[in-house]
Structure 1
Amino acid sequence: MSFSLFLSRRRGAMRTAGVCLFLVTLLCLPQVPSSQAAPVGGGWTRAAGVHAAEHFVGQYKNSRGLAAYCTDFERLSPENAGGYEDGHSGGFIRSDGSALNPTENAALSYLLHRWGDTADNATAASVQLAVWALTSPGMAWDSSGMDAILRAERLPDGVVAEARSMTKVAFSEAGPYEVDIRLEAAGAEGTMTASVSVLGADGTSAAGLAAGAELSGPFALAEERGATWTTADEPHRLTLKRTGLGGGSLTVSVPRTPAAGVQWLLPSRDGVQRLLAAAVVEPRDSAAAIADLPAFQPTVVTRASAARTGVGTTVHDVLTVGSSPAAGGPAGTAPWLSLPGNGTPVSVEVVSTLWGPLPSRPVLQESPPSDTPMVGSVTTRVNGPGTYNTPGLVVPSPGWYVWTESISPESTLPAEASRYVLAWQGKYGITDETTFVPWTPDITTELSTHDSLVGERVTDTVIGSGFGQPSIETGAVVTLSMYGPLPERPSLTADVPADAPLHSKVEVPALNGSQSSESFAAFTAPGCYTVVASYAGDDHTNAFTSAFGEPSETVCVGEDEPAQPPTPDATVAPALPASDEVGQAPARAELAQTGIPAKVASGAALVMLGVGLACLHAGNRSRRTAGESAHR
């Protein structure tokens, strides 16, 4: 008779109710009071469980220690079986002929596998309630049949709540299973972490399953007894320590995972409950390859020791060494390669090359142009991230200089690690790697004369050298400043005296080579005058100032001699014609060059003067004779 008869409201007759009550007393739990260890037919004994108001709710064990739970709640209890024959295995079929679906079978199997062997009374009672809810017709949770039993038995609330929780967990963590292994990035001292989970059909971590790990290759587990564990709701973490170069694998095995099926025993008599003995189990495993050490990419960021310096100074490069993931590798900062086992970092050589001098600032590009002049190369061995200074090189002349760096795997120490090091080459023309050596001009000058007279003008011959092309292109000028009049020829000094008067200035282009200046202003007073040449400097050329009182730049000016008045007997000489040159000072009284020697010319003049005086005397005498005759 089914349990539904017991619950039927259509039959109100007392006789039917009495029959049902009688049947309830014949269920899985004993009809007469008995101890928990009371024997059951076929060598089975009641084990862990709870004696409820009317029935024993728990597990049974045989002489071999096999635990089992009653099913088919509406049938008679195991005490009525007399014994149990060999069981069956597979998907379970309820007493009404309905088969459990794969999900229900998997949940039932998980329930028995995880909690079936418990020795705790309350846990065993919870398992029994969950088994009835899954296998007995009309006994699902929240059904009228289950509610009636719970009211009649008055089980502890904790037992019922745990039974409900077990059922829920069994469905969420049931198989089929997958072993999930996730290897995380390597940490300090060559270690890495493996996160291992056994996932059920819905991706939830399944707890309560025995698992083990095995390593191959140059690796070892850092944890003691870490090779075996029982799965939990959270992933199990393993720390793998690399002991050498090379790759390997991590294999995780779960030898007994509950499959979608159970084992049950058949009673020797009809109408008696079957016993669910165990879950059907099957192995699950998975392997994850542990890659060899990744390719290591050392990197260098550099900065020249000086952005600007002078000819003949020593410059060096400041290296900031680091590492980065290889192309296609994971993002983020990559650790510097160290030898597994002892943690010794590998070392590589950074070759730094100084290019120059260059006529203009270098342009950023992947590599130097083929015709780029080179000062030299220096080598710096580095063994990890940090800042290093290279040996120095002397910059020989003005211009721009720029560093480039390179790393070759062949320079790796120890040599066996070279296959893990990638080559590196820096770009050419990086601003921070550039040093500029300014041009230093040299200017020499020579005045057109060093003796002059008031009212005259002079010019300057300027010879420039050492000007850089940028200075020439900007139209820079050299300023020529004339100081005077000075009371005497100046002494050579580096600076212009504070009381030296400025006479005038002229400018010439700042060029390499010789050129002539315009005339300074005319001299207005006697004395000495001297010129100072100066260049203000610019971004590419240093300033220049010549000394004060350079002999080549000094002229002394005298007064022009005044014209002599004629003697009384002298004949006034005709005036010389004025100069045709505009702005020229009056010519001094000198004899014109006619081709006649000066002494001859002087003698001729004296002869002519004597003749003139004789004629004048004769004339005067004739006039006196004529007067006297007239007077007579």
Structure 2
Amino acid sequence: MKRTPPSLSRSPLRLLLAGALSALLSALLAVAATLGFSPSASALPAVAHGVGYLWNSDGRSWLGSHRLADGQLGLCLQVQNAPPEGSELEYGHASTAGWYSADDLARLAYIGRWWAASTNPGRAAAAQLTTWGITGLNGHGQAWFAQRANGDAGGVLALAQSMRAQLDSPGGASRGVVAKLSLSVPSDEGGTVSSELVADYLAGGPTQLPRAAFRGTLTLSGATFDDGSTVRDVTNGEKYSIIPSKGTALNRVTADIAYFDLPFGADAYIAKAPAGIQSLLVPPARNTGARARAHAGDVSPLPFRPAVVTETSAGSAETGAYLSDTLRLKVAGVPKVAREGAAEPSELPTSLDEWGVYRDADGALQPVPVVVRSTLWGPLDAQPDQQPTVPPHTPLVCTVATRAEDGPGEYETPDCILPAPGYYVWTETIDPADTPVEKGGGRLTAWASSFGAASEMTFAVAPPPPPPVTPTPTPTAPTPPPTAQATPTPTATPPGVVLPPSTSRPPTPGFARTSPELASTGLAAAGVPFWAASIAIGSGILVLAFVLLRRRALRRRS
């Protein structure tokens, strides 16, 4: 009968082996620190399998989610690539990768929103199969990959097929969601306001959501709710009574609705991996919001002049960085003209002192949309002085457009990339021709910013060169101890034969011979690095421990 060796938990050999491992690990860590190896501060590694199944047939193939260093779970997007464990990934929007169509992004966003973080193995595995059904199965069917769920393969496959049907059915994946407001103020005595949410589903198109499904915040201007407040938490589809403020014209009554954390839209989030490694579909950092504004009253025929207060996203940056501009949209100052016979020009406005509105196809009043065109100029050798217009021959980096649909407020431009060192300056323009006449474009006044404003300037520098990488020296392999030679049997000296005197010399006092074992460790050689010596010593101890353990086991078996 095969005997099991006794426990070595208290054996000196066990302690010797543990010490050898500790010494070897310490040496390797010292080498890594010396050579400057450290994880990137901006990347997030995938550390392990998440929730799912490991295939019993090979003990290696996985079906389910993967776990990132921050605890987030994600689903593989490219089945043909290498697993992500051990690689560094970066969060971002799937739309910027350009891998999938708009409808597939909506499907992936739905999976990431509802199933990617599941802690149920069957649901996580089915979500992974559903994801691969959208992004590609590398020439196989879902049933081929479902085998990895072992005894649950049939149930996981059926659930994946049900998930895909749910994505493509009414109420499933959606392209987005919008809010709508209805404001009615028939007299000074009172009125009503209500809001609706409309989701654009892949199956069924725009669909009004059920009443009281979501909560939002409704804000009034020029009127109050029946309790005297101007801000109230409301639900979609509900009608609320309002009272116009005394002395305020009906066309000054404005209602704003804001909904947050709505589970709709095609904004899928990913953890993007290097080329050849699986990127992951992850739950969204935040859900979609929806806003709407409505005005009550007639549309004024007076023009209005928009203006923009701007600020660059960075005063200094490295070349290759992404730069954007923050836009704070408002109405410019209103000039006045005097009434006939008046002493001061303070009676009649020549333009609106508030943002203009128009009536949409449903008859609701909406803010006039504008397009702000932002241009990044540079690089310039010196910081420019502020001046009304852009100097001739100024180099241009890019021009981006921001559509402001909600009237006054804060907006962010798309990014431009800084191509070279130097000074860069943003300028903005608003052209009435960018707004359709039926939406109020004929009542807009053009606007342009100055060139060289301090708040719009960025100084770009070249990034520092990467530190040199010192190659790792190849450690010297340990020399095995010499094989003991058999001592020859002394031969009797024949009578009459005189042996010559010995040629060996006794050791010189004060001089120690170096054994081959010690020389092989590198300690006896001047100038050998510590890390190499540490690795050699650790390796030697491991070999010695293994030999001693083997001999002990053989003695016990005998």
Task: Provide the TM-score with structure 2 as the length reference.
Answer: 0.33
